[in-house]
Each structure stands twice: as structure tokens, then as C-alpha cells.
Amino acid sequence: MALKDLTKADLKFIEEILRKKVPVDETKVTTRSNRFTGETVDVCEIVAAAHDFVLRLEPILYNDARLQMIHPKLKSTNSVSHFDRARYIVNKIDNKAYMTLLD
């Protein structure tokens, strides 16, 4: 896992939008699965939070009312950039998880 590859903007996004503290205990893992294939992968807390965020955001990218329920800063005008940043964070930290879960 490559937390060292995260930028200041990534860290701010993790703390503000994903609501996770950085750094976290990288030895603590949880399992996530690909919603289409069912393939599973063990991931750190940040990757799990980013994965969950992507799955919650994807079907409502342009629905302001529902976006506000996820986070008060989310709007249809910025949802795609937040969606992409969460995906990039997964890729930076754990490329295998990205390929298994989101690619």
C-alpha cells in the first residue's frame, strides 16, 4: 500500500469528504467485493471508504438532493471530480484493489 503517494489534496479529500483520519493503521484490513464478478480483495480503511464512496455516488452523480445526503459539499457540479478523486486514491494506494473492484 502506498499512502506515501498521496498528495496534500488527496489527504484533505480523505479527511473532509471520506471522513477518515490519516494516517491510519495500515495493518487493519477489511474485505470489499466487485459488485459484478463477486471477486473479493482485502483493503485498508481508506481504500474501503473510497470504494464505498464511489459505489454510493455513481448512481446519483447529478441528483443534488441525494448528493447532499452523502456530504454537504457535494453538488452535481462537483460530483464527478469527487468521484474521480476517490477512484484515483484507490488506485494510488492499492492498484490490485482498483483493478479488482473498480476497473
What is the rounded distance in angstroms from the CA atom of residue 86 to the CA atom of residue 33?
Answer: 17
Q: Which residue range forms the structural domain that includes residue 27? A: 3-101
The alpha carbon torsion through 99, 29, 55, 86 (nearest 10 deg) reads -70
pLDDT over 80 at 23, yes or no = no
> What pTM was computed for the model?
0.90
Query: For the chain, what is the domain count?
Result: 1
How would residue 1 be classed by pLDDT, with cut points 50, 70 and 90? Answer: low
pLDDT at residue 24, rounded to an integer: 57
What is the rounded distance in angstroms from the CA atom of residue 89 to the CA atom of residue 11?
Answer: 9
Average pLDDT of the chain?
92
pLDDT over 80 at 77, yes or no = yes
